[in-house]
Structures are given as structure tokens and as C-alpha cells.
Amino acid sequence: MKQLILIIMFLKMLIGCQSKALKIKDAQNIQIINSSGNVVYEIADEKKIQSIISIVESAKKEPVKFIAGYKLNVKTKDTILVFLIKDDLLNDKGIIYRMQDNLVENIDK
């Protein structure tokens, strides 16, 4: 019985670790692009970038489908990361995550 409980706890721990979105390092610039392809926001301010990244990194997997309203481009030192956004949902390579906040609404705060 103790072994079963330990196995269940271990599996739950593994599942919990996999529920987090990517960790983003060295972000230098962020663009938010609407569904028409127009850049709505271009952000280079370090404080705002960190605020946006903390919202993205707070996301947890959510098994839903959605049609994106925005594209989020995060330019890092080495690459450009692309996420699809709608309200508090984030799509990273087909995996849907729910963020703790609505990303677009928080930009103007």
C-alpha cells in the first residue's frame, strides 16, 4: 500500500513538472501581432518584457482548442519564440496553456 501511494505521488509530481510552459531567457524585444498581421505592440522596455514573460511562464496546460487573436514574438539573444494568444490562453507548438492573466490587457497597466 505504501508503495502504491509513493508511486502515485511520484507520477503526480512528474505530471506537475510537465504542466509548465517554456522558460524564456534573455528576451530583448517582444512584438504582439493581431490576426491581420499588424504589429499592435512593440516592447523593448525591460520591465514590461519581464512582466509579460512572467505571465507566459505562469501558464499551465489546458486541454482546449481556440482560434488565436494575436501572435506573440519574443526575440531572445539567439532566436525568436512564437506563441499564439487569445485572452488568457497560449498556444506553444500545438500545446495549449492557460495563463494566470490576460496578456494583452496587462500590457497597458
* Residue 1 banded pLDDT, cuts 50, 70, 90: low
pLDDT score for 82: 93
Domain span at residue 19 reads: 2-107
Strands (E) across the chain are located at 27-34, 39-43, 60-61, 70-76, 80-86, 89-92, 95-98
Model-level pTM?
A: 0.70
Tally of domains within the chain? 1
pLDDT score for 59: 85
- Nearest residue to 79 (alpha-carbon basis) of 34, 17, 39, 22: 22
pLDDT digits (tens, 9 = 90+) for 76-87: 988 999 999 998
pLDDT digits (tens, 9 = 90+) for 6-65: 566 655 554 554 445 567 888 899 998 888 889 988 989 988 888 888 888 888 888 888
